[in-house]
Every structure is written in structure tokens, then in C-alpha cells.
Amino acid sequence: MSMVPKRIMKEVERLTKDPVPGISAEPQEGNIRYFSVLMDGPDSSPYEGGHFRLELFLPEEYPMSPPKVRFLTKMYHPNIDKLGRICLDILKDKWSPALQIRTVLLSIQALLSAPNPDDPLANDVAEHWKSDEKAAIQTAREWTQKHAK
């Protein structure tokens, strides 16, 4: 057995034994590289009270390359596009093999608390966020109510 599956097994074990608060990540039966993720919207964010579905996939090169993660639940967020792709440095050039699935999930949850309209993936949402943050946050709340309950 190569090192990668062993590492993945260790990470899965840790996620099961010591789950991240507000996040559950379970590998699909028959495919340890593909995870179904449920994430609670962080408190005092526009996503509070929402339950968001994501998919996480560990490519063959993992941990040398980052996991592929996307939201399946519709999001109104400047760093998440219509396809659910996430703009987050550790999923791109800031990835390090020292990071783990749980680190990635915690970073995504933190991104929900602190949107960054200056590094957008959804330009229209980022423009809305910059021009009228209050209205953008209200829209994010409405989408959470509508899509993440």
C-alpha cells in the first residue's frame, strides 16, 4: 500500500474521532478520495443557520497537490462562483502537504465569516459587496434561508 492512502486513512480516522465543530466530512463508500461534506454557516455571519453541502475530492497527487472542493449548495459570496468553486489561496498556490482536509474545511468555514471582495471569483457579487455591503449581506442571508435550510 502506498503512503498516500495511508495518510488519507489517518485523516479520515481523525475526522471521525475528532470532528471539526459544525462540519462533517465522510468519504463515499467505495471511494475514499471523494467526500460528502456538510458545513454549518458560522455564527454571526450571513450564512448563520445554514447547512451547506460541499464535495471534496483528493486527487492522485494528494498531498502534493490540494484537494478539489466546491459548494453544491447555492451561495451568494464574493469568493464562491455559480459553480460552487472556491477562491481560497490554500486551494491554489498556498497549498502545502502539511495541510490536511480539516485545515481546508476550517479555512472554507472561516471564508464564510470573512468574505474577501478584493480577491473575487464572483465579480458581480464582489461589486455588490463593495458598493453596498449591507444589501449584499442581506442577499447572502436570503440565499442561505432559501438554499441552505
CATH superfamily of 3-147: Ubiquitin Conjugating Enzyme (3.10.110.10)
pTM: 0.94
Distance CA 146, CA 48 (A): 13
Catalytic residue among 8, 54, 56, 87, which? 87
Domain chopping of the chain, boundaries = 3-147
135: cell is 444589501
The answer to whether the beta carbons of residues 56 and 49 sit under 8 Å apart is no
As given in the structure block, the three cell numbers for residue 33 are: 478520495
| Residue 49 CB-density burial (10 A; 0-12 exposed, 13-18 middle, 19+ buried) | middle
Reading the block at residue 75, the C-alpha cell is 451561495
At 22, give phi and psi (nearest 5°).
80, 5
- Clarify whether 73 is annotated catalytic: no
Q: pLDDT by residue (tens digit) across 18-58?
A: 998 999 999 998 899 999 999 999 999 999 999 999 999 99
